[in-house]
A = this chain, B = another copy of it.
Amino acid sequence: MAATPLSERAVQQVHIDLGERSYPILIGDGLLADPAVYAALPTAAAAVIVTNTTVAPLYAQQLQATLAGRFAQVQQVQLPDGEAHKNWQTLQTIFDALLGAQCDRRTVLFALGGGVVGDMTGFAAACYMRGVPFVQVPTTLLAQVDSSVGGKTAINHPQGKNMIGAFYQPQLVVCDLGTLRTLPAREVSAGLAEIIKYGPIADMAFLDWIEANIDALVAREPAALAHAVRRSCEIKAAVVGQDERESGLRAILNFGHTFGHAIESGLGYGEWLHGEAVGCGMVMAAWLSQKLGGVDAAFVERLTALVRRAGLPVVAPALGAQRYLDLMRVDKKAEAGEIRFVVIDRPGSAVMRPAPDALVREVLAECVAP
């Protein structure tokens, strides 16, 4: 309780405006250890920290100690690490732990980890006793700039990624930039994919800034990371605030994801990181955008170079064109068997539209490893 009060520290705040489901995103260093961050949460007897076996030894004890001042009972549930475990069996271990500890419907869940932990904990919170409050505490760059914000929760189905889930908003998102220090370099790159994404779809000035600072971001310079996380959350907040349940606009946040999901699913979840697949998927979506007349070749080249500098793959794995098409047809954005892609219609602006299979095959011919 002797921590410096929130107001006196370098904490940035982004607000997600969704009426009665509104909540703040707090961004700063050392937030895991600051009781003031958690002071406004609903009163409850119990808190449960859901994390994984990789993150737990690094940060669980710290968060548990901070929450112990606020909740009479603080428990931990550790999930196996990785996208391959983002399924019903793992979700069931959360429910078993909650019921085993007789957790009631005021219990607050804390998702401490990356996107997989956040998606699963959020979905568990959405379903347990038809909904309990939860807090996102993302510890990866990707989760801080994308998956922890906006209330998309899900698990995978053997036939498709994120097929079973809910729109369910957290009470609070806590981005402790300090946790990024222990992140493997490959995961930093994966997070940069989602940061880069916000440029082409919404803010070319931000893309300019990312280009100018990509080396600082890869090197995890604190000031660069702080700006990138805040600006990414601001753009995401603006989009989600207009279209919480993805009936339209929000789909632009999936730029690069239709190709990316096909890569992830085709190789088997966990082979490529989600951010790696999205990085390569953005290059493919840029090619498609060019073929549809939205951007020129220089734009595609610029985006490709930036993705490469971020340490991400720009050549797609050879799954076979037909397999790519089949995988993309089960994408959630598909309608009546027609694959729909997020494409750039002009730099800084994205739309969703179908594309003829023949054009998609041309893109695959350009981007897939020979």
Task: Report A's interface with B, CB cutoff 8 A.
Answer: 45, 88, 92, 95-96, 99-100, 102, 104-106, 126-131, 152-154, 157, 159-160, 162-167, 245-246, 329-330, 332, 334-337
Contact status B165-A130, CB under 8 Å: yes
CB-CB under 8 A from A330, the residues of chain B are 99, 102
- In the complex, A131→B334 CA distance in Å? 15
**Residues in B neighbouring A99, C-beta threshold 8 A:** 157, 159-160, 163, 330
| CB closest chain-B residue, reference A100 | B159
Q: Of all chain B residues, which has the CB nearest A153?
A: B130
Q: Bound complex: CA of A90 vs CA of B277, how far in Å?
A: 33
Q: Is B127 in contact with A164, judged by CB distance below 8 angstroms?
A: yes
- If A159-B99, A164-B95 touch, whether A245 touches B131 (CB-CB below 8 Å) is yes
Measured between beta carbons, the chain B residues less than 8 angstroms from A159 are 96, 99-100
Q: Are B166 and A131 in contact (CB under 8 A)?
A: yes
Nearest-Cβ distance from residue A164 to partner chain B, whole angstroms: 5
Q: Is the CB of A130 within 8 A of B157?
A: no
B95 touches A336 (CB 8 A): no
B residues within 8 A CB of A100? 159
**B102/A165 in contact, CB under 8 A:** no
Give the distance to chain B from A353, nearest Cβ to Cβ, in Å.
16
Q: In the complex, A223→B313 CA distance in Å?
A: 70
Chain B residue nearest to A46 in the complex (CB): B336
**A166 partner, pick from B126, B154, B336, beta carbons under 8 A:** B126
> B104, A165: Cβ atoms under 8 Å?
no
Cβ of A166 and Cβ of B127 under 8 Å apart? Answer: yes
Beta-carbon contact of A332 and B129 below 8 Å: yes
> Residues of B contacting A335 with CB < 8 Å?
45, 104-106
Chain A at the B interface: mostly helix, strand, loop or mixed? mixed
Q: Note all chain B residues with C-beta closer than 8 A to A45.
A: 335-336
| Beta-carbon contact of A165 and B127 below 8 Å | yes
Is the CB–CB distance between A130 and B102 below 8 Å? no
Bound-state Cα–Cα, A197 to B345, Å: 59
Q: Which residues of B contact A128 (CB under 8 A)?
A: 163-164
Q: Which residue of B lies closest to A167 (CB)?
A: B130
Selected A-B contacts with CB under 8 Å, 25 pairs: A88-B88, A95-B157, A95-B163, A96-B159, A99-B159, A99-B330, A102-B334, A104-B332, A104-B335, A105-B332, A105-B335, A106-B335, A126-B166, A127-B127, A127-B166, A129-B163, A129-B165, A130-B154, A130-B162, A130-B166, A130-B167, A130-B245, A131-B166, A131-B167, A131-B245
Which residues of the partner chain B approach A153 to less than 8 Å between Cβ atoms? 130
Q: Given the complex, which residues of B lie within 8 Å of A162, measured CB to CB?
A: 130
Identify the closest chain B residue to A44 (Cβ).
Answer: B336
Q: Are B104 and A334 in contact (CB under 8 A)?
A: yes
In the complex, which residues of chain B have a beta carbon less than 8 angstroms from the beta carbon of A92? 88
Q: How far is the CA of A49 from the CA of B45 in the complex (A)?
A: 42
A162→B105 CA distance, assembly (Å): 13
Residues of B close to A332: CB separation below 8 A: 104-105, 129-130
A88, A102, A152, A153 pick with most chain B CB within 10 angstroms: A102
- Minimum CB–CB distance from A50 to chain B (whole Å) comes to 15
Complex-state Cα separation, A185 to B214, whole angstroms = 72
Chain B residues with CB below 8 A from A157, complex form:
95, 99
A153 to B130, CA, bound (A): 8
Contact A104 B336, beta carbon cutoff 8 Å:
yes
Which of A106, A166, A167 has the most chain B CB atoms closer than 10 A to its own CB?
A: A166
Task: Determine the chain B residues whose CB is within 8 A of the CB of A104 once the complex forms.
Answer: 332, 334-336
